[in-house]
């Protein structure tokens, strides 16, 4: 587990009351050099007061809007499956502006989720899937991410496995790859003391053909190397260039350290994948990515490489999160010139031509080293796919990617796009 220094630590009484959850909390505290008394016991009625006292009402804004990277407070709770209290009354008692998502996390919402992402999704071309979250909040401090200040950590993982993970795998046999904690956290920061990865590695190793996907920016992989994964755990790294890593993702290991972690996992038999995500077009980005691609393809043999230019927000917000002086002046100009046109466009705020320039450069660089490795666009528009499909050799209907629900190890092209049970009544249309 990372050597965190949480400014505040709490544990909900519902977590302390369950022996395995309590032991998990004690293990995590011990890894931080703390005794069990370090986490103050609280209950749900105290949530508005905790948020007020610690200034967490803005904790789900993008971290770059909150100033410098702040240490992460920890709140240990449980996922609640049958008796979730209503969020609204608690939210109404919280300071104005508090995120309902944070209140829900503290109340025990979470676990199984459905990503309804298809060709028609506003987020761009992606694939619908069942996915899971047990931690909300992350120490990596990425300035574009709203996972700062406080992490809510669910500790009833054995119950979660039996009530949600195994039933989902059995109900969705078409889904071969399941992603965990990709929304607002990074599981490896809390391992091995958290113990989710071991449970999932062992469970998916027992299935016929389904996989656990670890999506990470961490290099904390030592504990994975000896696990009996049987090829049913895939490790996927998001990578950025040096400058972005230092200035935009201040709590992460460097790209070199992540590539080295990938090499170790590959040696231990894990299928490994990369996403260059998010690509931040800093001054000198071409040379940074040329070096990064050369390094990663000389040290590892990934199953695929994805490309994604920083998005998810309008131009004003991006300039609020990231020092504009960091950006390549031509890209900063494009950002500002197209700010109005790109408002509300999920693939924005960089316009199509700027994004296409980056993707074209990166595909050329990858192909200089490897003619064969599958390259894909991550949550890009249909228009971008139309432009690049001839060069990539695949399109929205058949590409394989890093975290796609059907993208089992070794697959190079999809025959048919399938969707979760809840969505079958309205199948995807291309
Ligand atoms: S690693 Fe992921 S979850 Fe953690 S701060 Fe960065 S973007 Fe957010």
What's the CA gap between 128 and 406, in Å, rounded?
Answer: 10
Give the model's pLDDT for residue 120.
59
Q: How many residues are given for the chain?
A: 430
Give the model's pLDDT for residue 135.
98
> What are the structural domain ranges in the chain?
9-423
244 ligand 1 Cβ < 6 A: no
Centre of ligand 1 to C-alpha 278, Å, is 11
Instruction: Please give the number of the atom of ligand 1 that sits closest to the Cα of 217.
Output: 1
Centre of ligand 1 to C-alpha 134, Å, is 14
Residue of 71, 140, 182, 403 to test ligand 1 pocket, by largest number of atoms within 8 Å of CB = 140
What class has domain 9-423? Answer: alpha beta
What is the SS3 assignment for 425?
Answer: coil
Q: Is the pLDDT of residue 51 over 80?
A: yes
**Residue 424's pLDDT band (cuts 50, 70, 90):** confident
**Residue 116's pLDDT band (cuts 50, 70, 90):** confident
Give the model's pLDDT for residue 103.
98
**Residue 122's pLDDT band (cuts 50, 70, 90):** low
- pLDDT by residue (tens digit) across 70-81? 999 999 999 999
Q: Is the pLDDT of residue 405 over 70?
A: yes
Strand order across the beta sheet in which 135-136 lies: 40-42, 9-12, 73-77, 150-154, 135-136
Kindly state the percentage of the chain with pLDDT values over 70.
98
CB 407 within 8 A of CB 179: no
Beta-carbon contacts of residue 79 (< 8 Å; ≥ 6 apart): 108, 109, 110, 111, 134, 154, 156, 159, 160, 164
Q: Is the pLDDT of residue 121 over 70?
A: no
DSSP states of 175-195: --EEEBS-SS--GGGGTTTS-
Centre of ligand 1 to C-alpha 214, Å, is 13
pTM: 0.96
Instruction: Please give the number of the atom of ligand 1 that sits closest to the Cα of 138.
Output: 4
The mean predicted confidence, pLDDT, of the chain is: 96
CB 60 within 8 A of CB 152: no
Give the model's pLDDT for residue 5.
97
Give the model's pLDDT for residue 168.
98
137 ligand 1 Cβ < 6 A: no
What's the CA gap between 327 and 325, in Å, rounded?
Answer: 5
183 ligand 1 Cβ < 6 A: no
Centre of ligand 1 to C-alpha 371, Å, is 31
Give the model's pLDDT for residue 150.
98
* Both tokens assigned to 53: 């006292």
């Amino acid at each position: 587990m990372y050597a965190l220094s949480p400014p505040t630590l709490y544990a909900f009484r519902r977590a302390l009351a369950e022996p395995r959850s309590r032991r998990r909390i004690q293990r995590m505290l011990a890894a931080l050099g703390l005794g069990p008394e370090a986490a103050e016991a609280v209950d749900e009625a105290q949530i508005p007061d905790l948020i007020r006292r610690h200034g967490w009402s803005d904790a789900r804004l993008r971290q770059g809007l909150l100033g410098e990277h702040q240490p992460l407070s920890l709140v240990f709770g449980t996922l609640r499956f049958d008796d979730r209290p209503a969020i609204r009354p608690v939210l109404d008692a919280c300071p104005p502006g508090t995120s309902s998502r944070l209140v829900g996390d503290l109340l025990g919402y979470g676990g199984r989720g459905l990503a309804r992402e298809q060709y028609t999704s506003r987020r761009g071309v992606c694939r619908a899937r069942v996915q899971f979250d047990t931690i909300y909040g992350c120490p990596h401090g990425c300035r574009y991410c709203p996972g700062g200040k406080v992490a809510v950590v669910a500790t009833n993982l054995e119950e979660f496995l039996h009530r949600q993970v195994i039933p989902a795998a059995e109900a969705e046999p078409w889904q071969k790859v399941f992603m965990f904690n990709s929304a607002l956290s990074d599981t490896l920061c809390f391992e091995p003391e958290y113990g989710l990865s071991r449970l999932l590695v062992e469970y998916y190793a027992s299935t016929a053909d389904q996989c656990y996907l670890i999506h990470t920016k961490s290099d904390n992989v030592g504990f994975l190397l000896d696990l009996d994964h049987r090829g049913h755990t895939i490790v996927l790294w998001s990578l950025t260039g040096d400058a972005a890593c230092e200035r935009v993702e201040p709590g992460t290991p460097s790209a070199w350290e992540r590539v080295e972690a990938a090499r170790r996992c590959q040696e231990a038999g894990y299928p490994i994948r990369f996403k260059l995500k998010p690509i931040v077009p800093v001054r000198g980005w071409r040379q940074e990515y040329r070096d990064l691609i050369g390094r990663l393809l000389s040290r590892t043999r990934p199953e695929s490489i994805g490309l994604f230019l920083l998005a998810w927000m309008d131009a004003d917000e991006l300039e609020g999160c990231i020092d504009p002086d960091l950006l390549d002046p031509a890209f900063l100009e494009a950002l500002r010139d197209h700010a109005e046109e790109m408002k509300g466009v999920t693939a924005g705020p960089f316009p199509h031509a700027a994004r296409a320039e980056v993707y074209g450069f990166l595909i050329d660089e990858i192909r200089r080293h490897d003619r064969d490795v599958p390259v894909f666009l991550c949550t890009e528009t249909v228009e971008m796919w139309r432009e690049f499909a001839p060069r990539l050799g695949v399109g929205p209907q058949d590409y394989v990617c890093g975290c796609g629900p059907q993208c089992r190890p070794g697959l190079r092209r999809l025959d048919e796009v399938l969707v979760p049970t809840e969505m079958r009544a309205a199948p995807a249309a291309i």
